[in-house]
Amino acid sequence: MKFILAALLCVLAVVSAVAQTEKTGFSKSAEKNGVKKLTLARQDSEGNIEENIEIFSTNDVPIFCYVDLISTVPTSVQLNLIAVKVKGLRPNTKIISISYKTKKGEDAVTFTGKPENDWIVGSYRVDILLNGKLAKSREFSVEMLHRSAK
């Protein structure tokens, strides 16, 4: 009986130690190094930035992508812009790939993506990779909208 009681106390001590470790902020590296926020934006005809856009016009060149990181630890951040369903391109074709290595203290990266001319109508996706691993994705579409040229 004493053996069972001693074993139970050991199990409770281990469970308690693990629970305290999690509460004090020790977590997996993936949680320490991630994307807090991914924002897509465009510039309007007056030069103002409009954020959280889901539908862009064919003449929204460039498209801005703001990546807010959880950590300020130096990280390799890569943007892949994928043509999910665009006439004339194979589905899920990578059309833009840009990389940036953050420096100590940096927790944000701004990417711009632009074609040679205008965007082609269709569905697109932005994939953000941190140190080569997919961290966040955001889909958007490009439509023939009637907006004033910049």
121-140: pLDDT as tens digits:
999 999 999 999 999 999 99
pLDDT at 111: 96
Name residue 8's amino acid.
Answer: L
Q: CB neighbours of 3 closer than 8 A, spacing ≥ 6?
A: none
How far apart, in whole angstroms, are the C-alpha atoms of residue 54 and residue 35? Answer: 19
pLDDT at 13: 38
75-95: pLDDT as tens digits:
999 999 999 999 999 999 999
pLDDT at 32: 65
Annotated domain spans of the chain:
1-28, 33-143
How far apart, in whole angstroms, are the C-alpha atoms of residue 103 and residue 43? Answer: 27
pLDDT at 146: 66
Q: Which residue has the higher pLDDT, 13 or 39?
A: 39
pLDDT at 108: 97
Taking domain 33-143, whether its CATH number is 3.30.70.20 is answered by: no
What is the pTM assigned to this prediction?
0.75
Question: Quick check: 56 pLDDT over 70?
Answer: yes
Q: Give φ, ψ of 86 to 5 degrees.
A: -135, 130
| Average pLDDT, integer, range 16-26 | 36
